[in-house]
Structure 1
Amino acid sequence: MNSLQEKIHQEIDTLPLTSQKEVLDFVLFLKNTLNTESDSDYLSKDPKIKQAIIDGLNTPLDECSDRLDW
């Protein structure tokens, strides 16, 4: 175990059990957050959508419509 992990374990061991449970909840929350891909990541996996986003970003503002077609 590296020194950072050892330090974390030492600090957690000094906490009351209820606080240790809160630390565990927080760690699980962080893991879940890190494993969730963003909307941008999801959309960029589809080559057609990715290219449409790139094309849209490269479109000059004076060529953009100020009205929605739907």
Structure 2
Amino acid sequence: MLTTVDNPYDPNTDYDKWMMWDQFNEHYTAEYLARVANIDDDMDDEEASQRIDEAMAEIIANDTNNLYAIA
């Protein structure tokens, strides 16, 4: 799961609080990940999961502010 280093909540265990904090602080991490992953409706779960993993790696690789991390 992609998160930001400043978010005190773990998206794996406390997703609702993580999401509220993320949006309140205007990171919109889930939306950013969705844009980069570009999942098509006709993709199966395995292909979509692969696309998400690749998108997270791309976001981290291009993160010059060191804002993002994998939770």
Higher relative contact order (Cα pairs below 8 Å, separated by 6+ residues): 2
TM range (shorter): 0.3 to 0.5
Q: Compare the two structures and name the one with the higher helix fraction.
A: 1
Bigger radius of gyration, 1 or 2?
1
The structure where strand makes up a greater share of residues is 2
Report the TM-score when normalising by structure 1: 0.35
**Given the two structures, how large is their TM-score scaled by the length of structure 2?**
0.34
